[in-house]
């Protein structure tokens, strides 16, 4: 069950990320006309997009922990919002290397978030590289 939940969350992440990239693309100016601004807006847009994705996963972890059927994160005590955002962000950005232990099936959701984070971070890096390459073209 946890693996299916994780898979569905990563699928939703990918779909949402695609629309987020479209939004960033629409906000940034033409790299040929305003190269430095295009890079800065792309970077800041991606930063905001990734923060939204991290916060969304933190909210999902809160719901899953409240449900209680998938195990626990940390000491088993209720985690505050800051701890959930930290846990989600570390999973998202470092392939699951956190100082907070998970137990039970929720580990599979955490593992899937790490996979999804790796996928969308590399996707975003490619996007930013493309914007930069166009802006720096001589």
For residue 121, pLDDT over 90 is answered with yes
Q: What is the pLDDT of residue 76?
A: 63
Q: Which of 45-49, 51-55, 68-72, 126-130 has the least mean pLDDT?
A: 68-72
List CB contacts of 25: < 8 A, sequence separation 6 or more.
127
Phi, psi (5° rounding) for residue 105? Answer: -60, -20
The reported pTM is 0.89
Residues 10, 113 contacting (CB under 8 angstroms): yes
Burial class (CB in 10 A: 0-12, 13-18, 19+), 82: exposed
CATH number for the domain that contains residue 85: 1.10.287
Within a domain: residue 110? yes
Q: How many domains does the chain have?
A: 1
82-98 per-position pLDDT tens digit: 999 999 999 899 876 67
Domain residue limits at 92 = 2-27+40-136
Distance (Å, rounded) from C-alpha 31 to C-alpha 11? Answer: 31
């Amino acid at each position: 069950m946890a693996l299916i939940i994780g898979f569905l969350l990563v699928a939703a992440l990918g779909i949402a990320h695609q629309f987020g990239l479209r939004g960033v693309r629409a906000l940034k100016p033409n790299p040929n006309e305003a190269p430095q601004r295009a890079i800065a807006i792309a970077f800041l847009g991606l930063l905001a997009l990734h923060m939204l994705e991290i916060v969304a996963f933190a909210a999902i972890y809160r719901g899953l922990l409240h449900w209680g059927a998938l195990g626990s994160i940390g000491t088993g005590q209720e985690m505050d919002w800051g701890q959930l955002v930290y846990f989600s962000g570390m999973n998202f950005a470092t392939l699951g290397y956190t100082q907070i232990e998970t137990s039970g099936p929720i580990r599979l959701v955490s593992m899937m978030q790490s996979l999804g984070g790796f996928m969308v971070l590399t996707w975003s890096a490619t996007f930013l590289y493309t914007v930069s390459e166009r802006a720096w073209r001589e």
